[in-house]
């Protein structure tokens, strides 16, 4: 009952001196609001990154050639990834499911009936590419294993290639011309956006067609794969790495990475950065605490006669102490709750505004309200109020009732 009465008295004092109370709480409001907003934005970016990697498969494992440096410092004479590496991994590593080698063919232009695309991204791959990258198919078909075996002169195009070269016409069965090669369009794949980029300007061709009829050789840009069901990404990566090390006689000429590990790195970066910024923003809570101490000292001075009267009527030092501590905590807690409310509204505005701008994706930037973090900040603000209100409360409790009643 004494606690509830103390809270009621504290709220009455807030209502009695509204402007003074607001200015006193301003530091706490800004501190809690800043901490909550920073956590919201950090969580929003982590959620955005997670959703982006889910589109292309967070369990994708990438194998790349990594033997850079001056000739006298290179670790092996191997000059890149080869088709033999694909066959080797398929035979030796039983923890992986599909394998999609990828070769990018740069500097190409695509032509059809006078229309031209000067900057398409041409990739040569196999039939597993669609499964590896979760690519939807809008029209026709994708590259098949038979296309790869027969070195078929076919291609599958993105939606922007379709609209720029074929306008409103159906592209299936028509022929694209490149420098040195003509390919029949057999399919159109759907648009997938990733990190502000899309696959709409991509053109996919069978790997053997590109190697035998176009660029020559059997070099690859990278090999993508993924673990079988029930196998963790890390276990599959370890098996791939061990197999490659045995093939290269422990020469570190390959690099093995995964979308999951990249996502984990981004998550750690956003988490650490958000934590540091939140800690810096929390310093304003200390400023707010100093303001609360100041106003509570003023309150003790203003209510000296009230304190003397209460002590003359039998109030113990503990009850006087508790009264002022509760008032300080209430003042700080109310400021924290106001800061939480402002942060919540700000988060909604950010989500709405970014969705309107389609940044960083069409859905905008999600800013989920971090209830636990906000509550922790509000409780911490109340704790700040208790700490900084303790000295004024002790000063009030130590007042001599006779002296207090005689003070003007």
Residues 157/176, Cβ–Cβ less than 8 Å: yes
- Whether the pLDDT of residue 402 is over 60: the answer is yes
- Whether the pLDDT of residue 245 is over 80: the answer is yes
Mean pLDDT score, 172-183: 91
Strand-pair partners of 154: 184
- Whether the pLDDT of residue 408 is over 70: the answer is no
Mean pLDDT score, 45-64: 82
pLDDT of residue 54: 75
Mean pLDDT score, 143-163: 95
pLDDT of residue 73: 45
Residues 138/189, Cβ–Cβ less than 8 Å: yes
- Whether the pLDDT of residue 75 is over 80: the answer is no
Domain spans of the chain, in order of start: 2-54+264-406, 67-252
Grade residue 2 by pLDDT with cuts at 50, 70 and 90. low
Residues 323/9, Cβ–Cβ less than 8 Å: yes
Q: Which of 43-52, 82-91, 349-358 has the lowest mean pLDDT?
A: 43-52
User: Considering the chain, what is the average pLDDT of its residues?
Assistant: 84
Highest mean pLDDT among 69-78, 272-281, 338-347, 368-377: 338-347
pTM to 2 decimals? 0.68
315-369 pLDDT tens trace: 787 777 877 788 888 888 888 888 889 999 998 898 889 888 877 777 778 888 8
Mean pLDDT score, 76-85: 79
Grade residue 405 by pLDDT with cuts at 50, 70 and 90. low
């Amino acid at each position: 009952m004494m606690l509830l009465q103390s809270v009621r008295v504290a709220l009455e004092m807030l209502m009695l001196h509204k402007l003074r109370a607001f200015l006193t709480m301003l530091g706490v409001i800004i501190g809690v609001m800043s901490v909550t907003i920073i956590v919201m934005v950090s969580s929003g970016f982590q959620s955005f990154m997670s959703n982006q990697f889910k589109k292309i498969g967070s369990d994708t494992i990438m194998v790349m050639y990594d033997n850079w440096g001056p000739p006298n410092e290179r670790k092996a004479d191997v000059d890149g990834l080869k088709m033999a590496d694909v066959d080797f991994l398929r035979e030796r590593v039983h923890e992986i499911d599909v394998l999609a080698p990828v070769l990018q063919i740069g500097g190409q232009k695509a032509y059809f009936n006078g229309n031209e695309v000067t900057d398409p991204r041409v990739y040569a791959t196999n039939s597993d590419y669609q499964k590896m990258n979760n690519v939807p198919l809008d029209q026709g078909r994708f590259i098949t294993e038979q296309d790869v075996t027969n070195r078929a002169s076919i291609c599958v195009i993105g939606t922007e290639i379709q609209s720029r070269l074929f306008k409103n016409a159906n592209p299936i069965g028509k022929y694209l011309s490149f420098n040195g090669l003509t390919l029949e369009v057999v399919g159109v794949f759907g648009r997938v956006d990733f990190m502000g980029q899309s696959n709409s300007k991509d053109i996919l061709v069978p790997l053997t067609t590109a190697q035998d009829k176009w660029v020559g050789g059997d070099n690859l840009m990278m090999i993508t794969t993924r673990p079988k069901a029930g196998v963790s990404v890390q276990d599959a990566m370890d098996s791939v790495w061990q197999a490659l090390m045995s093939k290269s006689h422990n020469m570190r000429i390959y690099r093995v990475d995964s979308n999951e590990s990249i996502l984990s790195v981004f998550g750690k970066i956003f988490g650490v950065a958000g934590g540091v910024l939140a800690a810096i923003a929390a310093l304003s809570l200390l400023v707010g605490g100093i303001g609360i101490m100041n106003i509570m000292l003023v309150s003790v001075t203003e209510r000296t006669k009230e304190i003397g009267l209460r002590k003359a009527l039998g109030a113990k030092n503990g009850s006087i102490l508790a009264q002022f501590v509760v008032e300080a905590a209430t003042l700080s807690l109310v400021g924290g709750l106001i800061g939480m409310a402002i942060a919540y509204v700000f988060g909604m505005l950010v989500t709405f505004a970014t969705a309107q701008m389609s940044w960083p994706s069409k859905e905008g930037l999600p800013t989920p309200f971090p209830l636990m973090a906000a509550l922790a900040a509000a409780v911490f603000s109340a704790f700040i109020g208790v700490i900084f209100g303790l000295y004024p409360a002790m000063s009030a409790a130590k007042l001599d009732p006779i002296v207090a009643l005689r003070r003007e």
